Each structure stands twice: as structure tokens, then as C-alpha cells.
Amino acid sequence: MTNIVSIQNIAGHVGEEITIQGWLYAKTGKGKIQFLQVRDGTGTMQAVLFKPNLPLETFEAGKRLTQESALIVRGVVKENERAPGVPGGYEIDTAELKVVQVAEEYPITPKEHGVEFLLENRHLWIRSRKQWALLRLRATVMRACRDWLDSHDYLEMSTPILTPAAGEGTSTLFEVDYFGDTVYLAQTGQLYNEANIYSFGKVYCFGPTFRAEKSKTRRHMTEFWMLEPEMAYCDLDGLMEMEEQFISYIVQRCLEERVEELKVLERDTSFLEKVTPPFPRVSYDDAVERIKKIRVETDDPELKALLEIEWGQDFGSPHETELTKLYDKPIFVYGYPTQVKAFYMEPWPNRPEVCKSVDLLAPEGYGEITGGSERISDPDLLLERIHHDNLPEEAFKWYLDLRRYGSVPHSGFGLGVERTVTWIAGIHHVRETNPFPRTLGRVYP
RNA sequence: UCCUCGGUAGCUCAAUUGGCAGAGCGAGCGGCUGUUAACCGCUUGGUUGGAAGUUCGAGUCUUCCCCGAGGAGCCA
């Protein structure tokens, strides 16, 4: 069979005889006509088998096909608005059907399934339409990240995954035996990025990161992908300007390139269309006041309890959720209390209790998708902060060196890929945005 | 680590006060020329998460354990 066509390009082949290589997603049939929904990885389209037009054995072979059987279909492409698929509206009038393998009874039926069952069968679940759309969207988000950064003179620098000590000294790390020594799986590449900017100016690292925290929420995984840009000669304002351009570009790329997938996900894209610079900037001080006001005004006693806050405390997810509901765009919350943030963040001028940190909160209640800051550039201040947090000075010797040889103001942030995709896709749980999610209590498959 | 909910057929669930463990879907066979989670008929389906206990009798009650989900804290 020749002229193999991808389903995503089917619109350009109407009237032609083509071949589709794929798998049977679903099948419905009547006595003399059968409809095969065929996936090929790029989309789904209908192949029609009409008994009078086919050799009997071909029609009978079609009847024996089970869900997820591998098959190759040849026939003429026709436009037909009744034909379902992604993109819909096209079908193939089957002339030849080659059965590559008849699949065994497939566990995931087109009916409802529970989360536990689906996660146990994740290796098969990714074939389902919604999961397929979600992971295609993820790939676009990741590529858009790289495209924007690469075209703005950022250089991708790999940072180590095996690291000698805690990046920030706070989160729980996975331990790995390293020829008798203990090393840790990286939870950030930031410190290495800070070294890299002094050679390359603007850099980013992009890879998996690991947190051994026992978090069981829809926003947490133990292994997730993080993108961390870092920029020399960049202060907090410069960071926010860069972030809003960057995030807006990613969202707009998804709207352009993943129309069908967002349709499958039933995403209301009107929210995404509003994601253009500038984003609202809210100081931590203001944010606390607003949350206090919401807390006073709510009649819900449960929400009242969750929203309890005093200046100086970090926000929890309920606080973030309520804040984002006040806006229809992502918002920056900047100037968090120094005591709740990492040691390396630059203090606010004349207000040492506040630091030049900024989180980006996605709208519609999704909350934090990036966290960043301007970093301390003064060697004495950085050393003082390391001592203040009781961190081992010896481990940070190289990091302190960076402040001794041409230190400049610099900033960076980390973006959680799965959280970003979750928001853009408008879905409930981050685990579905990773092909094989690792969560507390699940490392299979 | 804490709080809440859950575990019954391959899957999704039901089972009244402690009294014969059921339905839909899937799968198999047959029928149907426009299906969209097709429809109609027949067939197939069980270590009720595990252990112990109470009882004439436990899916149901008690104790312990295992597993999962949601949330909190922490974080992207």
C-alpha cells in the first residue's frame, strides 16, 4: 500500500486514494455497513466498510476486529459531515483492509472508569482521546517554551540531576547511593544556572525534578518537569516583563496549533485568549489585605477557616485560588516576606522583611505556575543569609564565588510544566499531563 | 504526618433491619445500509481487599492490617 497519509493532514487529500496505518479505536456496525474509528497517532478518522463494495473476506475481517487491533486501510477520502473524528468530517471509503494484529480483549472500554483503574493501566490509557489530546498539548507547551527562549538568545544548559546537597535546604530530597556516598536527585537547577549566566548571559535548563514530599493533592507529583530560565543584568521588574511575554507566547501557540485538542478537552478558550501582556501585579501586602476581606465577607465557615492569614505567612492553595478569582488573567504576586522564601532572594530596598520574589498565579483558581526572584548579588549579604539559615557554608563555596568575580543583579524563575499544561487544558489534576506520572504511592507503570 | 471518603463480576456500580450476591457495560453468538458511548435477542460472568471475631447465618456488625482517592501542611 502506498501514499501513507497522516490523519491530521487528511483535509488535503479529499478524493485521493490513500492509506492509513493505525489502530481501531472504536467500531459500530450494522448488517451490511461497518464504521471503524481508526487512530494513527495524529488523529482519528472513520473508515467505512460497505459490504456490497468489498470482497466478502474483507468485510468479515472487519467484523472480527476488536478494539485496539492494528490495521492498515486503503481507500478514497470523502468529505462527510456525519463522520466523527479528530479532525472530524472526513471518512475513508475502504477498498482494502489489512489486519496487522487482532488485539486481545482491551481493558479500557469507551465507558466510564475509575481513577485507580486508569492509572494502573496508564500505558494503555494514553491512547484514549482525552489523554492523547492532553499529551499533544504538553508537547506543544514544551516546544513553545524552547522556541521563545531560543529565539530570545537564551542558551539551553543542562544542569545536574545528581547533586551533592539540597538546593534550598528545605524540601525533602530523594537519596541515591553514589559509590558509598549519599547524593540527591535535583529539585532545582537554579544554582547551576546562576553559574552559567556568567558565561552565557541568558540560560535555561529544562528537565525532570524530584521532590520527596508526601503531598497528596491534585497539584503534586514526586517527579515533574521544570523549566528554569536565568538572566544576568535583570532585576525583578525585568523578570516580570519577561515572564508575561513568555507565558503569553506559550498560550497563544497552543491556541494556534492545538485547536482540535482543546476542542477534545472541551476547553473554554475565551479565558486563554485574554492571556496577553501586561499581567496584573499585586504586592504581597495587598494580597493579604484582599484575602482578609474575602474571608470576612464569606458565609462559608470552611472557607473562612482555610483563608486564615496573618502578614508574614506564606499563602496556601486556598489563598491563591481566591486571589486568582479576582482576575481573568494570570497575576503576579511579588514581595513575599523574606522569612517564608529561600535564602538567596534579594531583599527589598529599605524593607529587609520583604524580598524581591514573584510568583505567577494562573487564573480560574489554578494558582502558582511559576516562582522566581531577583537573586542576592552582594557576597557579604549572601554569606550572612547562608549563616542565618544554618546552611553549610562549605557546600556553597562555589556559589559564593559567583559573587566575587563580576557579580551582577540577576533573576530567574522556575515553571512547572505539568501545572501549566493543567491550566491551559482546563483539567482537574496534574497527573494526567505527564505520560507516566509519579505520585506518592504510585510508580507503576 | 494529619483529616475525610472508598475497596463487591474484566469495568462502572447496586444489594432494605444481619437472611438466596444483582444490573448495565465489555466479551461470545445471531440480526440490522449512516453509526457517533448505536440498537435488538440469546450466552458468559464472583476468593465481596486480607486476617481474626460476634452470630443459626456477615458484602453488611467489631478489631487489626493492606491498598487507593480527595484535602491540609510544603511546594512548581
CATH of the domain at A33: 2.40.50.140
Same domain membership, residue A221 and residue A82: no
Same domain membership, residue A87 and residue A140: no
A214 touches strand B (CB under 7 A): yes
Provide the pLDDT confidence category of residue A433 given band limits of 50, 70 and 90.
Answer: very high
Strand partners of residue A162:
A185
Sign of the C-alpha dihedral computed for residues A159, A164, A166 and A171 taken in this order: positive
Same domain membership, residue A246 and residue A181: yes
Q: Which of A68, A101, A134 is the last residue before a domain boundary? A: A101
Same domain membership, residue A85 and residue A144: no
Same domain membership, residue A269 and residue A226: yes
Percent of chain A with pLDDT over 70: 98
Q: How far is the CA of A277 from the C1' of B4 (A)?
A: 41
Same domain membership, residue A147 and residue A60: no
Same domain membership, residue A413 and residue A354: yes
Q: Is residue A71 part of a domain?
A: yes
A302 touches strand B (CB under 7 A): no
Same domain membership, residue A359 and residue A233: yes
CATH of the domain at A267: 3.30.930.10
**Are the C-beta atoms of A16 and A76 separated by less than 8 Å?**
yes
Same domain membership, residue A131 and residue A90: no
A444 touches strand B (CB under 7 A): no
**Are the C-beta atoms of A358 and A413 separated by less than 8 Å?**
yes
Chain B footprint bases within 7 A of protein beta carbons:
1-2, 10-13, 24-28, 31-38, 67-76
Report d(CA A411, CA A397) in Å as an integer: 20
Report d(CA A430, CA A432) in Å as an integer: 5
Q: Is residue A13 part of a domain?
A: yes
Provide the pLDDT confidence category of residue A382 given band limits of 50, 70 and 90.
Answer: very high
Question: Is the confidence at residue A241, as pLDDT, over 90?
Answer: yes
pLDDT of residue A439: 87
Q: Is residue A307 part of a domain?
A: no
The most confident of A213-222, A311-320, A354-363, by mean pLDDT: A354-363
Q: What is the mean pLDDT of residues A265-269?
A: 92
Q: Is residue A202 part of a domain?
A: yes
> Closest Cα to residue A146, out of A41, A225, A238?
A225
A314 touches strand B (CB under 7 A): yes
Q: What domain count does chain A have?
A: 2
Q: How far is the CA of A114 from the C1' of B63 (A)?
A: 30
pLDDT of residue A167: 47
Q: Is residue A213 part of a domain?
A: yes
Q: How confident is the model over A296-346, as pLDDT tens digits?
A: 888 777 778 888 888 988 898 889 988 998 998 999 999 999 988 989 999
Question: Is the confidence at residue A255, as pLDDT, over 90?
Answer: yes
Same domain membership, residue A205 and residue A163: yes
Q: Is residue A59 part of a domain?
A: yes
Provide the pLDDT confidence category of residue A166 given band limits of 50, 70 and 90.
Answer: low
User: Buried b / exposed e across A43-81, counting CB within 10 Å, b at 16+?
Assistant: bbbbbbbebeebeeebbebbeebebbbebbbbbebeeee
Q: Is residue A266 part of a domain?
A: yes
Domain residues for the domain of A428 are 123-280+327-433
Q: How many residues can be counted in chain A?
A: 445
Same domain membership, residue A365 and residue A399: yes
User: Buried b / exposed e across A181-206, counting CB within 10 Å, b at 16+?
Assistant: eebbbbbbbbbbbbbbbbebbbbbbb
Query: Cis (ω within 30 of 0) for the bond into A278?
Result: yes
Q: Is residue A316 part of a domain?
A: no
Report d(CA A243, CA A415) in Å as an integer: 10
Q: How far is the CA of A63 from the C1' of B41 (A)?
A: 19
Same domain membership, residue A250 and residue A183: yes
A46 touches strand B (CB under 7 A): yes
Find the nucleotide nearest A369 (Cα to C1′).
B76
SS3 A395: helix
Q: How confident is the model over A38-96, as pLDDT tens digits?
A: 999 999 999 999 999 999 888 988 888 989 999 999 999 999 999 999 999 999 999 99
Q: How far is the CA of A387 from the C1' of B56 (A)?
A: 74
